[in-house]
Amino acid sequence: MHVMVLSCCVLVLLLPGLCLSAPTFTPEVTSSPPAEPQGDLKLAIEYLQQFYNLQKEPLGRMKRSGASFISKVKEMQIFFGLNTSGALDFDTLELMRSPRCGVPDVEEYSQIQGTRWDKNVITYSIGTYTRDMPRNTVDSLVDSAFSVWARASSLTFVRSYTRNADIMVHFVTYEHGDLFPFDGPRGTLAHAFGPGLGVGGDTHFDDSEHWTAGDTGFNLFVVAAHEFGHALGLKHSRNPESLMYPSYKSSHPANILSDEDVANIHALYGPVRSRANHVLRHGLSSQHGPWISGSLFPRLMQNKCDPDLTFDAVSTLGDATCFFRGRYLWIKHNEQYDIKEGPITNFMPKIETSIDAAFWVPRRSTAYLIHESTFWTVRGSLVKGKPRALSHFGFPAWVQDVDAAVHIVKTGRTLFFMHDIYWSYNENRRVMDFGYPKYISDDFPGVNTTINAAVHKEGYLYFFIGPEVYKYDYTQKRVVAVEKANSWLGC
Average pLDDT rounded to a whole number, residues 121-128:
92
Which residue range is the domain that position 264 belongs to?
A: 121-269
Residues 405 and 282 in one domain: yes
Q: Say if residue 319 carries a ligand binding annotation.
A: no
Q: What is the pLDDT of residue 99?
A: 62
- Which residue among 232, 248, 269 closes a domain? 269
Q: What is the mean pLDDT of residues 153-166?
A: 87
Decide if 12 is inside a domain. Answer: no
403 by Cβ neighbours in 10 Å (0-12 / 13-18 / 19+) ranks as buried
CATH of the domain at 138: 3.40.390.10
Looking at residue 238, its pLDDT comes to: 82
pLDDT band for position 60 (50/70/90)?
A: low
CA 186 to centroid of chain Cα atoms? 21
Can you give the pLDDT at residue 334? Answer: 67
* Judgement on whether residues 253 and 235 belong to the same structural domain of the protein: yes
Domain match, 437 and 345 both = yes
Which of these three, 234, 269, 304, is where a domain ends? 269
What is the chain's mean pLDDT, rounded? 78
Do 248 and 309 have their domain in common?
A: no
Establish whether 320 is an annotated binding residue: no
62 is in an annotated binding site: no
Residue 105's pLDDT is what? 66
Report whether 486 contacts 306 (CB < 8 A): yes
Residues 209 and 349 occupy one common structural domain = no
Percent of the chain past pLDDT 90, that is, above it, reads 26
pLDDT at 12 over 50: no
Does residue 115 belong to any structural domain of this protein? Answer: no
Q: Are residues 190 and 142 in the same domain?
A: yes
Kindly give the residue spans of alpha helices, DSSP state H, lying in 190-290.
220-231, 259-269, 278-281
Q: Which residues of 361-397 are buried (b: 16+ CB within 10 A; e: fewer)?
A: eeeeebbbbbbbbbbbbbeeeebeeebeebbebebbb
Residue 6: inside a domain = no
pLDDT at 404 over 90: yes
Same domain, 244 and 149: yes
List the CATH number of the domain containing 31. Answer: 1.10.101.10
Tens digits of per-residue pLDDT, 303-339? 788 888 889 999 988 878 999 998 888 888 766 566 7
Tell me how far apart the alpha carbons of residues 439 and 431 are, in angstroms, rounded to a whole number: 19
Give the residue with greater pLDDT, 296 vs 474. Answer: 474
pLDDT at 401 (0 to 100):
86
pLDDT digits (tens, 9 = 90+) for 62-103: 666 677 889 989 887 887 788 999 899 998 888 787 766 465
Q: How many separate domains does the chain show?
A: 3
Report, as an integer, the average pLDDT of 221-235: 90
Task: Find the mean pLDDT for residues 233-243.
Answer: 86
pLDDT at residue 169, rounded to an integer: 96
Residues 362-383 have pLDDT tens digits of 888 889 999 988 999 988 668 8
204 is in an annotated binding site: yes
101 appears as a binding residue in the annotation: yes
**Quick one: 85 and 169 in the same domain?**
no
**Per-residue pLDDT for 455 more than 90?**
yes
- For residue 159, being part of any structural domain is answered with yes
Q: How far is CA 239 from CA 244, 247, 257, 467, in A?
A: 8, 11, 12, 46
Question: Is there a catalytic annotation at residue 75?
Answer: no
Q: What is the CATH number of the domain that holds 454?
A: 2.110.10.10
88 and 127 housed in the same domain: no
Question: Considering the domain boundaries, does residue 111 fall inside one?
Answer: no
Q: Do 242 and 293 fall into the same domain?
A: no
Tell me: is residue 8 an annotated ligand-binding position: no
Give the pLDDT of residue 103.
59
**pLDDT band (50, 70, 90) for residue 284:** very low
Residues 214-240 have a mean pLDDT of: 87
For residue 333, say whether it is annotated as part of any ligand binding site. no
Confidence band for 58, pLDDT divided at 50, 70 and 90: low
pLDDT over threshold 90, residue 192:
no
pLDDT of residue 24: 37
Task: Summarize the chain as % helix, strand, coil (round to 5).
Answer: 20, 25, 50
Please state, as a whole number, how many other Cβ atoms lie within 10 Å of the Cβ of residue 42: 16
Please tell me the predicted confidence (pLDDT) of residue 297.
Answer: 31
Is 202 marked as binding a ligand?
yes
Q: Which of 269, 303, 319 is the last residue of a domain?
A: 269
* 197, part of any domain: yes
pLDDT at 490: 83
pLDDT attached to residue 337: 61
Answer with the residue of higher pLDDT: 419 or 32.
419
Distance CA 13, CA 257 (A): 19
- Give whole-number Cα distances, 284 to 107, 299, 323, 355, 381, in Å: 54, 11, 22, 21, 20
State the catalytic residue, choosing from 227, 260, 352, 427: 227
- In this structure, the answer to whether residues 70 and 194 fall within a common structural domain is no
Instruction: Please check whether residue 14 lies inside any domain of the structure.
Output: no
pLDDT at 414: 94
Clarify whether residues 317 and 456 are in a common domain: yes
Q: How big is the chain by its Cα radius of gyration, in Å?
A: 26
Q: Is 144 within the bounds of a domain?
A: yes
